[in-house]
Amino acid sequence: MLPITSKAVSADARDRLRIADDYLERVIAGEEYLVFDGAMGTMLQAAGLEAGELPELLCLTSPDEVTAIHRRYVEAGSQAVTTNTFGANARKLGDAASVHEVFAAAVSCVRAAGARYVAADIGPTGALLAPLGTMSFDEAYNLFAEQVHAAVDAGADIILIETMADLLEMKAAVLAAKECSDLPVFATMTFGEDGRTFLGTSPRIAALMLSSLGVQALGMNCSLGPDDLRPLVDEMLEVATCPVMVQANAGLPHVEDGRTVFSVDADAYAESVAGMIEAGVRIVGGCCGTNPAYIANLADIVRDKRPHVPFARPLCSVTSAQEAVVLEGRHVATIGERINPTGKKRLKEALRTGDSDYIINEAIAQTEAGADILDVNAGLPEIDEAAVLVDLVGKIQGVTGLPLQIDSSDPAAVEAAVRVYAGKPIINSVNGKAESLETVLPVAKHYGCAVVGLTLDEGGIPPTAEERFAIAERIVRAAEAKGIPRQDVLIDCLVMAASTNQSEVVEILRAITIVKERLGVRTVLGVSNVSFGLPLREVVNATFLSAAFSAGLDMPILNPLSERYCEVVDSWRVLCGQDVGAMRYIEGYANKTAAASTTKVAAHAGSNEGGASAAEEEGLRHFVITGRRAAAGAEVERMLDAGEDPMAVIDGHLIPALDEVGARFEAGTFFLPQLMASAEAAKAGFDVIRGRSTGDAVADKGSVAVATVKGDIHDIGKNIVRMLLENYGYTVYDLGRDVEPQAVVDCVKEHDIKLVGLSALMTTTVRGMEETIALLREQAPDTKVFVGGAVLTPEYAQMVGADYYAKDAAEGARICAEVLG
């Protein structure tokens, strides 16, 4: 495995590209169309590929057959042809061949076919990244880096990263491509019928992050047919600042006369893609089910034409993997300040002792209070700040979908955290000092981050608005010189305490206005500093916040648990038009009175420590829903100590909480990270009950066997199902991947298992699923079977003889409840 390298290269070296010719350069600039090829797997299957065979190895064993397929696409009009290396990483290849051997042979096949451009194909690792899975970011990066080095050595023209469903895995692959090569990077993700990846990323979020990360083209492939992809493509086109690429499936697969066929023919496919091209898509091709006939039609559509739709204008945006905050017009967003040890003894102690549960509670409490973004600061001199920040970023992103602001004065800690962040974060901060500009801005550019610029320099914080503006202008100019668009620069004019610098308060407000009017950037402000040393601090803070909004403040950093703050923010959103029709304000305040509100404010006034306690009062159900593992375990301990029956705790609290989580997942308001965090919290409760119970005091929920079928080495979906079922309290026998049918039957017989879950990713391995089910029917007829996987549909499930079809892990849990009781 390769070591991680190139993280310290200069900004110029990071962004220099080697582009094959002038035409490809014009494609990247959005001035020409580019036609890719269609499906490789479909063509190989038609040529007699046997189920279970690694198609990438055919580049070594049958290069003439692979080259012949590439040549057919070239003859149909493909300008860029994809190498047969989708799964050619060290994890999947094992001892069968080296990555360099496969890529060298694959590139040679494409060159021999006469393709104008060779696109080195890199697919997912096949493993789930932490914290949901066991593969670390660095492990994924190293797998991708090895592939990129192999592609470069073999002479590829483009790095194509495709069919990604995990935004963090996509980031690891893009960084490997940027840091280990100077080739253009094209990056496409795959989305489900709900318009998101299985981890909850929307096309809009993917496009925002990938545009900022600096890929040369972005888009989507696989999953759905062209008509179903069209609204998702439109989402990308609205925000993408580089060419958008689409390679749709030929509809969904179904079975006719025992054969797998797709529902959209070449003419219908071309008609649908033509609409996307007219809307602004510049790079087209095909995925599963397409063949040279499809590509020939696409080539005809774009022949002798030039794109006429401009790229989207850059937006001020920050994202997680599930949520995006985009500021337009006078819209505002709040940044929760509570994960910052300054003035917070309990938080300092939590950081020193590694008590991440306390910090997670703060993140959840601020999320529930309505914050839009969370500031994360671990700045204590006695801890390893970089390591702590990296750990907190992963854990906080596991329980909340809010974007994060990475807050540190240490550039190394900032880089370590933003590198493993899923999405586009804010860096807090850079300032006007030359050293800060030279160390922080390259990090923001390389990782595609927004960055807060503090109006201070070697001379300190100036007292006047004009002097603050001069520093802000210097920061903006320096950022643009590094390639950071103005929309990603947020200026903090720095609040001073009214008790000590009273004359500067008005200057701060003037500075906000000047910065907004003259530089056209967004502004940030740590509001609560203004009241330091004064009584009734929240009254002063709220008054100053109102004035700052009027001056042009966009993103206040504040305590979202303060009701006084919330009132100002909510009412301002009505006045500036962000809360259309005042609907949210009316919903939140229709039954409140000023007196009741003031009482609440008084209870919070002057508090720097409290805040999470209000949510904690909601008990076990709330802890499970919000994914608080430690709190859930402690609450079950308390309930058992108080004499509650263990089964009453399970049936009256844990199971209803999991049911609600499942309902939110089904409704699209929870995504896989939140689902898994809730399941972990429930498991903590189950574990306490098991540890305190004897004999049959706690009913056995039953046993399930899961396996990826013979010939298939993809196990992400199976692993997610296993983890979820274990956390729901089931005993799960995980047989792994590429499992022989008899091994499944043997496990069922040995452990008297009544339910089996089978997974397959590829249409070529569905036959292995059918064989396994047939053997189970013969030797264990009482056992029920549910199936799932990317290529599976209810029709496929029926065809292979399954009892149930599970479209996702949550459905698998529901099937277990139905079958096992």
Structure tokens at 433: 């000092």
| CA–CA–CA angle 666, 670, 671 (5° rounding) | 95
The yes-or-no verdict on residue 543 having pLDDT over 80 is yes
Closest CA to 614 of 625, 603, 602, 605: 603
Q: Name which residue leads in pLDDT, 635 or 47.
A: 635
The yes-or-no verdict on residue 367 having pLDDT over 60 is yes
CB atoms under 10 Å from CB of 109, counted, come to 27
Structure tokens at 158: 């483009």
Provide the percentage of residues in the chain whose pLDDT is more than 70. Answer: 93
How much is the pLDDT for 718?
A: 85
Structure tokens at 488: 């990603």
> What's the CA gap between 157 and 118, in Å, rounded?
5
Q: Per DSSP, what are the bridge partners of residue 522? A: 490
Lowest-confidence pick of 7-21, 162-176, 498-512: 7-21
How much is the pLDDT for 51?
A: 45
pLDDT in tens, 178-229: 999 999 999 999 999 899 998 999 999 999 999 999 999 999 999 899 999 9
Q: Name which residue leads in pLDDT, 134 or 432.
A: 432
pLDDT in tens, 656-670: 898 898 888 888 888
Q: For tokens 């499930």, what's the residue?
A: 797
The yes-or-no verdict on residue 761 having pLDDT over 90 is no
> What's the CA gap between 47 and 42, in Å, rounded?
9
The yes-or-no verdict on residue 279 having pLDDT over 70 is yes
Confidence grade of residue 553 (pLDDT, cut at 50, 70, 90) = very high
DSSP at 192: -
> What's the CA gap between 521 and 486, in Å, rounded?
6
pTM attached to this predicted model = 0.89
Structure tokens at 509: 């407000």
Q: What DSSP letter does each residue of 324-386 carry, written as one string?
A: EEEE-TT----EEEEE--TT-HHHHHHHHHT-HHHHHHHHHHHHHHT-SEEEEE---TTS-HH
The yes-or-no verdict on residue 70 having pLDDT over 50 is yes
pLDDT in tens, 285-327: 999 999 999 999 999 999 999 999 999 999 999 999 999 999 9
Note whether 391 and 359 are within 8 A (CB).
no
Closest CA to 809 of 687, 632, 671, 685: 671
> What's the CA gap between 59 and 101, in Å, rounded?
9
DSSP at 605: T
How much is the pLDDT for 50?
A: 60
The yes-or-no verdict on residue 613 having pLDDT over 60 is no
Structure tokens at 537: 């601090």
Q: What is the mean pLDDT of residues 507-511?
A: 98
How much is the pLDDT for 807?
A: 87
Confidence grade of residue 618 (pLDDT, cut at 50, 70, 90) = low
The yes-or-no verdict on residue 694 having pLDDT over 70 is no
Q: Name which residue leads in pLDDT, 4 or 189.
A: 189
